[in-house]
A and B are shown apart, each in its own frame.
Chain A
Amino acid sequence: MMGGHPAAIVSSAARTNAGGTRSSETAAIELFGVTKVFGEGPSATPALGPLDLAIETGSFVSVVGPSGCGKSTLLRLIAGLEKPTSGRLRRYGDDLDGPSRKVGIVFQDHVLFPWASVLENVMLPAEVLSLPKAAALERAHWLLELTGLKDFASHKPHMLSGGMKQRAAFCRAVLADPQLLLLDEPFGALDALTREELSLELSRLWQDLGRTALLITHDLGEAILLGDRIIIMSDRPGRIRLDMRVDLPRPRDVNTMKDPRFIEIHQIARDLLFTRQRN
Chain B
Amino acid sequence: MDTSWKAISARAATPLIYLVLTILWEAGTRVFHIPGWILPAPTAIFTMAKDWAPELLYNTYVTVRETIIGFVLALVLSLPLAVIIAFTSTARRLLYPILLGLQSVPKVALAPLVILWLGIGNWPKIVIVVLVCFFPILVNVVAGFEAVPKPMMDLMYSLRASKLAIFRRLRAPIAMPHLFTGCKIAITFAVIGAVIGEFVAAQEGLGYMILVSTAQSQTPLAFAAIILLTFISIALYYAIEFLEKKFVTWHP
- What residues make up the interface of A, taking CB atoms closer than 8 Å to B? 76, 79-81, 98-101, 103, 105, 107-109, 111, 113-116, 124-125, 127-129, 156, 158
Contacts and interface: CB of A to CB of B under 8 A. Distances in A.
16 contacts: A80-B158, A81-B154, A99-B160, A103-B158, A107-B151, A108-B151, A113-B152, A114-B251, A114-B252, A115-B248, A124-B169, A125-B159, A128-B165, A128-B169, A156-B250, A156-B251
A128 B161 contact: yes
B68 interface: no
Which of A76, A98, A111, A115 gathers most chain B CB within 10 Å? Answer: A115
Interface in B128-166: 149, 151-152, 154-161, 165
B170 interface: yes
B112 interface: no
Interface residues of B, number: 21
Interface of B: 149, 151-152, 154-161, 165, 169-170, 173, 176, 248-252
B157 A99 contact: yes
A70 B155 CA distance: 20
A79 B151 CA distance: 13
Given A124-B169, A158-B251, A129 B159 contact: yes
Given A99-B160, A101-B160, A128-B159, A107 B154 contact: yes
A127 B251 CA distance: 23
Given A81-B158, A99-B159, A115-B176, 20 more contacts: A81-B157, A98-B160, A99-B158, A100-B160, A105-B154, A105-B155, A107-B151, A107-B154, A108-B151, A111-B152, A111-B154, A113-B152, A113-B169, A114-B250, A115-B173, A115-B248, A115-B250, A116-B173, A128-B160, A128-B165
B115 to A, nearest CB: 44
Contacts of B152: 111, 113
A184 B165 CA distance: 24
A105 B250 contact: no
